[in-house]
Chains A and B, each alone.
Chain A
């Protein structure tokens, strides 16, 4: 995987009627990675995406795509972008195929074979000549992805790609996205307000709140920062906690439900187990207790909130 940044946001700012909607947002997205753009509704995800694809003008800052500025070289920059902005709205009175032909005509040199290839990729061969009117939401979403891939873009931008899909559909889209990033070395930007989804899809994640980017981290770092937590399942956690603390006063130990949650490093696990055996404690299981994305999200956004008020 090359670490070449394909999309660069530099102090992107949007002011509408004197109100700062997006405030100096900067981040890079690299080839081969899925970048999650996470934030509560109304935080500015869609506005930022609209600025990246040139639907909205930037008040300040710049967006570079493959080094081309969306402000000064719109055509050069947007050529590398495939996107679905909000819902994949297509011409309902045209067939899926005609919709693709429509968009294919707006690029140079997209052959019929290419259109068929994309149709096959998203698995719409059977229904592609039917009117979009008759499509389910999942099929429209797939057609949306098909139109965004026609011109082999370097960047794929999907705004809420799993909105309104059933669990099977969500899984399908998620697999597509991961595959596209890996196999074609594309940079994929996905926005969502669904945390669990981001957790499964993204390599890195940027959290936006009130128009400010408050954190960008890799998924692993994000979910488990500041040391590791391990969960030890025992019969009488409170008593065990006392015993552990007399022995290892430097560990932070908490009782959560029927388990102990201990803050320690991985190579301390054998030591803990030896200790339990020596003390004759019944251990039912030990597992890493990473904070979920949701915990972290709430943590980070509330910090952000504090910063704002302070």
Chain B
């Protein structure tokens, strides 16, 4: 299996597209640092008087609670109030845009760029062999077809992980150079209590949550690539769903309950942390099970069809 994965990586690393993707990702991380620095220098936000700012905010929250409105506080006005009070009592300044933690958290949105590139690679990794005609020479080796497919799947997985690695390591380096260290304590509010946790674990969770739809859509692209042997079909369908699926499901969910069985209704696990599930009655466990079901279906389809069908290309 190791040799097969090395082969796949060799094929990926000898194509210029790979370097374009990595280059774009690196550019995006740098651009994000430049833009953050530029905005901060313009607004000159200072962290000195964070106590005053929090106290002012608390007054407003108090008013919201008294008026009985819902407001726009997450997870709730009470929670926001409790968090602010905890900060004032324990002297923990909130991280502003100039801290490296905030920068790292902001960069988590670039996982969608990683998703885009992973989908492109997953779409081509099986279908490409068919369009190049090399699949014939690949499949007449004393290696079962499922092993070859598995090696390709693992290659896509390691490719995605490598891009996330580039994203985080570069963000950490740029963050450490250009931004304040900030406070490495993350506060969360749940069940009427404020808890302290390590910022690093919090960020890992943010990155993981953001990666779920990437993982599933990349798997889907891989499945389409293996079943239909067409990379354009795989890229087209997967990217369309990647960018539209979430919004469309959101609309459907406003009118129909069955939307909760859609893949995209379940990929955003942060909704449970915020306490606002897409459809009433959905739970974290439900979503995780749905995610696993979709993943299993994609993988099972890819492997059964690919190992059974004749190669007549």
User: Could you list which residues of chain A lie within 8 angstroms of chain B, going by C-beta atoms?
Assistant: 50, 53-57, 74-76, 78-79, 81, 83-94, 98, 101-103, 105-107, 144, 147
Say whether B141 contacts A107, CB under 8 Å.
yes
B residues contacting A by CB (< 8 A) are 3-4, 6-7, 10-11, 14-15, 132-134, 136-137, 139-144, 308, 310-312
- Cα A103 to Cα B136 in complex, Å, equals 12
Interface pair A105/B3, CB less than 8 Å apart: yes
Contact check, A74 vs B4: say whether CB atoms are below 8 A apart.
Answer: no
Chain A residues within 8 Å of B141, by CB: 78, 103, 106-107
Q: Are A105 and B137 in contact (CB under 8 A)?
A: no
Q: Are A98 and B14 in contact (CB under 8 A)?
A: yes
Shortest beta-carbon contacts, A-B, top 5:
A89-B133, A106-B141, A105-B3, A79-B142, A56-B310
Q: B310 touching A57 by the CB < 8 A rule? A: yes
Q: How far is the CA of A88 from the CA of B6 in the complex (A)?
A: 22
Known: A53-B140, A78-B140. Contact between A92 and B132, CB under 8 A? Answer: yes
A88 contact set on B, CB distance < 8 A: 137
Q: How far is the CA of A74 from the CA of B307 in the complex (A)?
A: 12
Classify the interface of chain B: helix, strand, loop or mixed. loop
- If over half of A's interface residues share one DSSP class (helix, strand or loop), that class is named, otherwise mixed; here it is loop
Taking the closest CB of chain A, its distance from the CB of B8, in whole angstroms, is 10
28 contacts between A and B (CB under 8 A): A50-B311, A54-B139, A55-B136, A55-B310, A56-B311, A56-B312, A57-B308, A75-B142, A78-B141, A79-B142, A83-B140, A84-B137, A86-B133, A87-B133, A89-B134, A90-B137, A91-B11, A92-B132, A94-B10, A94-B14, A98-B10, A98-B14, A102-B7, A103-B141, A105-B4, A105-B7, A106-B3, A107-B141
Q: Inside 8 A of B311's CB, which chain A residues have their CB?
A: 50, 55-56
Is A106 a contact partner of B143 (Cβ separation < 8 A)?
Answer: yes
| Beta-carbon nearest neighbor of A57 in chain B | B310
Contact A93–B14 (Cβ < 8 Å) = yes
* Min distance, Cβ A169 to any Cβ of chain B, angstroms: 20
- B140 near A55 with CB under 8 A, answer yes
Contact B137–A103 (Cβ < 8 Å): yes
A89/B137 contact (C-beta < 8 A), A105-B6, A105-B7 known:
yes
Minimum CB–CB distance for A212 against chain B, Å = 20
| Inter-subunit contact A50/B312 (CB<8 Å) | yes
Residue from A76, A81, A83, A89 whose CB has the most chain B CB atoms within 10 Å: A89
Known contacts A55-B139, A101-B10, A103-B137, then 16 further A-B pairs from the complex at CB < 8 Å, ordered by chain A residue: A50-B310, A54-B140, A55-B136, A55-B312, A75-B143, A76-B142, A79-B142, A85-B140, A93-B14, A94-B11, A102-B10, A102-B11, A103-B141, A106-B7, A144-B137, A147-B137
Contact B144 A75 (CB under 8 A): yes
- Contact pick for B137, options A57, A74, A78, A85, CB 8 Å: A85
Rounded to whole Å, the gap between the CB of A8 and the closest CB of chain B is 18
Report the minimum CB–CB distance from A63 to chain B (whole Å): 13
CA distance in complex: A92, B7 (Å): 15
B contact residues around A81 at 8 Å (CB): 140
A54-B139, A55-B139, A93-B15 as given contacts; A74 in contact with B134, CB under 8 Å: no
Q: Residue of B at shortest CB range from A82?
A: B140
The distance from the CB of B15 to the nearest CB of chain A, in whole angstroms, is: 6
Closest-CB distance, A103 to chain B (whole angstroms): 7
